[in-house]
Chains A and B, each alone.
Chain A
Amino acid sequence: MDVIGAPSDAEIVARVLGGDAEAFGFVIRRYEAGLLRFATRMLGSRDAAADAVAEGLVRAYRHLASCREPDRLRTWLYRIVTNRCKSHLARRSVGDVPLDEAPPVADPADGEAELERAEQLALVQRALTGLSPDKREAFVLKHVEGLSYEEMAAITGERIPTLKMRVHRAREALLKVLEDHT
């Protein structure tokens, strides 16, 4: 989303590398919502997602000189946060479910539609968490972050046919879960 007058990614990177550390705040404000959403869907936990994204952004700042194409900063950031999520998942032992993976408790004062929406989100999130990390990552990048297969390939380093297969399998698994609960 471009705001007239806002600096471009390339301009921000140049400023940070020129010594203006505060300019990195532009990067954080511009991308944290999407990165947090992605990490939350990957890790099933808002707290773990916040940790992964914060670590990823600090790492991005410290290695900003190695971002060879500042015009594609978003792809580079997603690649870093994807790797942080994988590290978190690898450290997490099987069966160790984050505390806030429990379904969000809707406020009884909410309307019936909100309650139903909260339950559906919980169902879908559980189904997503049941996928392997590779399939989960592919589905989230494709359908939640809305990336093209080309962008996904740049982020993950995987070939497009491999990513398509993972997305297809993820869809099939999700559909089965949704069908079983209707």
Chain B
Amino acid sequence: MNTIDARIHQVLDGELPADALPAEQRDATDAIRAAADLLAAPVPVRSLESRVMAEIHRPAPSFARRVTAWLATPHAITFRVRPVWSLAFAAAAAVFTLFYARDVGPQLGEHEGIAQFVGRFPDARSVHVVGTFNDWRPGTIALQDLDHDGVWTATVVLPAGTYEYMFVVDGERWVPDHLADRLVADDFGRENSVVIVRPVHR
């Protein structure tokens, strides 16, 4: 390794003035600065704005969605098959469509995970979860009790990380999540529940 005088590094790091170096050492700092100037020249590339904005406005459909869309769209395709094969093909297409026609859910980024919130509130009219993932804004994440058994749930995509939260029942009653493993004092005389969201794609 070609180790140079430490003062050269100190000058280039702004820790020493340039005149702290003897004249014969200044060539090295000049060379580095000249190389940096060359590399700092603008790169002649066309603006990416239209490319990026086009991609932003066009979320990429999943493979399943593309196939489902193709199946759902009339196509003028004619091919000859033996009768027994045509039945088998129709059955396979029906299964494929039924299977993939359901919403396959959100596309998770590599730093996103899923948080599941569950609470038992048999007499509640509404249950929301409020926390650091939604700036403590009540009313934005509602739990649902679809079969009316008093068990309310919500499944939410969140960036991986640690969040504090509480449930808000009927818009007014703040309740910690008793099923949560982690609790922490909220400095207002209550306890917040804590969830750690882990990335799904690892």
Q: Which residues of A contact B (CB under 8 A)?
A: 21-22, 24-25, 28-29, 32-33, 36-37, 40-41, 46, 49-50, 53-54, 57-59, 61-63, 65-66, 117, 120-121, 124-125, 127-128, 140, 143-144, 146, 149, 164, 167-169, 171-176, 178
Contact = CB atoms under 8 A, between A and B. Distances in A.
Contacts of A50: 45-46, 48
B56 interface: yes
B43 interface: yes
Contacts of B109: 59, 62-63
Contacts of A32: 47-49
> Which interface residue of B3, B31, B33 has the most chain A CB atoms within 10 A?
B31
> Which interface residue of A41, A124, A176 has the most chain B CB atoms within 10 A?
A124
Interface string B1-27: 111100011001100000000000000
A22 B35 CA distance: 38
Nearest to A35: B48
Interface in B22-65: 28, 31-33, 35-36, 38-49, 51-53, 55-57
Nearest to B35: A124
B43 to A, nearest CB: 5
Contacts of B36: 143-144
Nearest to B134: A65
Nearest to A62: B109
A7 to B, nearest CB: 16
- Nearest first, the 6 closest Cβ-Cβ pairs linking A and B are A143-B36, A66-B159, A176-B2, A40-B43, A121-B38, A28-B49
B42 A33 contact: yes
B42 A37 contact: yes
Contact of B38 (A58, A124, A167): A124
Contacts of B28: 175
A36 B43 contact: yes
B178 interface: no
Given A28-B53, A121-B38, A178-B35, 7 more contacts: A25-B49, A29-B49, A46-B45, A50-B45, A50-B46, A63-B159, A171-B32
A175 B4 contact: yes
A63 B161 CA distance: 14
Contacts of B2: 172-173, 175-176
A54 B9 contact: no
B114 to A, nearest CB: 16
B45 A128 contact: no
Given A128-B39, A171-B9, A54 B48 contact: yes
A66 B132 CA distance: 12
B111 interface: yes
11 contacts: A40-B43, A49-B45, A54-B52, A58-B56, A62-B56, A62-B109, A120-B38, A140-B39, A149-B13, A172-B4, A176-B2
Given A58-B52, A61-B56, A143 B39 contact: yes
Nearest to A22: B53
Given A144-B36, A144-B40, A171 B12 contact: yes
A3 B38 CA distance: 26
B38 A57 contact: no
A33 to B, nearest CB: 6
> Which interface residue of A53, A164, A172 has the most chain B CB atoms within 10 A?
A172
A117 B38 contact: yes
A53 B36 CA distance: 21
A168 B43 contact: no
Contacts of B41: 37, 121
Nearest to A169: B1
